Chain A
Amino acid sequence: AQSVTQLDSQVPVFEEAPVELRCNYSSSVSVYLFWYVQYPNQGLQLLLKYLSGSTLVKGINGFEAEFNKSQTSFHLRKPSVHISDTAEYFCAVRGSNDYKLSFGAGTTVTVRA
């Protein structure tokens, strides 16, 4: 089984500042990793995913994440946030031979002008 820990429950940030959302996972098998964003009253939208290959993954809306196997981490970053990035962000993991996604508890990002 896999589990995910998102280390920050809330991250306030000023507009145009950088942001990093931390995610650590545990698993006894090889994994695929995902970041989803949830805007108010909407479903989860995939931001980016790591399946294999380059450990630096670029996603939509200027986000990127780096897979670090030795530290079992998959932190999400954006160099300059916008007000519209205010949302909840979920890190998720699944085994490479599995279909069930295991999610972290989420990080609420609030971007202020």
Chain B
Amino acid sequence: GAGVSQSPRYKVAKRGQDVALRCDPISGHVSLFWYQQALGQGPEFLTYFQNEAQLDKSGLPSDRFFAERPEGSVSTLKIQRTQQEDSAVYLCASSLGLEDEQYFGPGTRLTVT
């Protein structure tokens, strides 16, 4: 595809529900990043993949957050037992290599009610 795509674009979940957010990176991009952007804030790093390997998950806020990229392409960010504080825009970015420019998707806006 032409860019990074994310789905769904909007998600409303009741507190306690599980959600799964999908990211389709640019074809051929080895590196994939997830960021969380709370309302009125800049994005904050969550986790990083190189191909299928999750090399850094230091930004995940709790063990309710889980990310995977099983075939080194599409990635899914899963949040279990959602809480109100999980409400945010979740951004995915991909890059050719680790230190190359990161290209961002449009984000998924998650609202937990």
Residues of A bordering B, CB below 8 Å: 4, 36, 41-46, 49, 90, 92, 99-106
Contact = CB atoms under 8 A, between A and B. Distances in A.
A106 B41 contact: yes
Contacts of B98: 99
A45 B56 CA distance: 24
A99 B4 contact: no
Contacts of A36: 104
Interface residues of B, number: 26
Name the residue in A4, A41, A46, A101 with the highest tally of chain B Cβ atoms < 10 Å from its Cβ.
Answer: A101
B41 A45 contact: no
Contact of B104 (A41, A45, A100): A45
A63 B43 CA distance: 22
6 closest residue pairs by CB, A with B = A103-B42, A43-B104, A44-B104, A43-B106, A100-B45, A43-B105
Interface string B1-23: 00110000100000000000000
B107 interface: yes
Given A43-B4, A43-B91, A44-B91, A101 B45 contact: yes
14 contacts: A4-B42, A36-B104, A43-B4, A43-B91, A44-B43, A44-B91, A44-B93, A90-B42, A99-B31, A99-B48, A99-B99, A101-B102, A102-B45, A106-B42
Contacts of B61: none
B101 interface: yes
Contacts of B104: 36, 43-45
A42 B106 contact: yes
B83 to A, nearest CB: 23
B101 A92 contact: no
Given A43-B104, A100-B45, A105 B99 contact: no
Contact of B106 (A41, A100, A106): A41
A100 B48 contact: yes
Contacts of B45: 100-102
A80 to B, nearest CB: 27
